[in-house]
Amino acid sequence: MTLPTDIIFPFRPEQINSKDPAQLAEYMRDLVYTLSRTYQDTAQAVNGDIRQFTPVVKGFTIEGVGTYTHQIGWYLRQGIIVDVWFDVKWTAHTGNGFIYVELPYKVKDSLQKPWVGVVQAGDFTFGAGRTYLVINAIPNTFRCEVFAQGTGLATLQNAVQATGHLIGHIRYVGQEFA
């Protein structure tokens, strides 16, 4: 019978008591590997796993194609909670319509848009009187859309622009896997 402790911490008295350095070394390598793997699996289960992705800017009416200076993105999925960080800069884009950045996981379906993130813009034109941008993860899609805001003004969706630079972070609930 194999006990759970034998799987996590394999105890092999025949190797330990053999007084053979080769067997003892093999046992120690196996023990260190098992302990390292157990730690890595536990850390990943608790902390999640940060992975890279390539953020892509698109237009809602015509997705278009961008010429990018850089596209850097990371995401961390812990259960169904997803954190996404991105830094994307483009020098030419053929898209048309409202601008959005593609997300690595589909956003949970919801009647409203409860997932708001922050975004910093460079080489990016806001609407009249708008002074800052926010991003919303749009339910049941792979999109976070860019909105311009200003004091006392209605929120305004921004159109995809020929050039721009967006740096952002958003946390949202991703859809469960089927």
In total, the chain counts a number of residues equal to 178
pTM of the model: 0.71
Give the CA radius of gyration of the chain: 24
| Cα-based distances in Å from 163 to 74, 129, 130, 136 | 22, 21, 19, 21
**Is the distance from CB of 159 to CB of 126 less than 8 angstroms?**
no
Average pLDDT, the chain: 85
User: Which 3 state secondary structure label does DSSP give 100?
Assistant: strand
More confident residue, 22 or 6: 22
Residues 19-77 have pLDDT tens digits of: 888 887 887 777 777 777 777 667 666 666 788 999 999 999 999 999 999 999 999 98
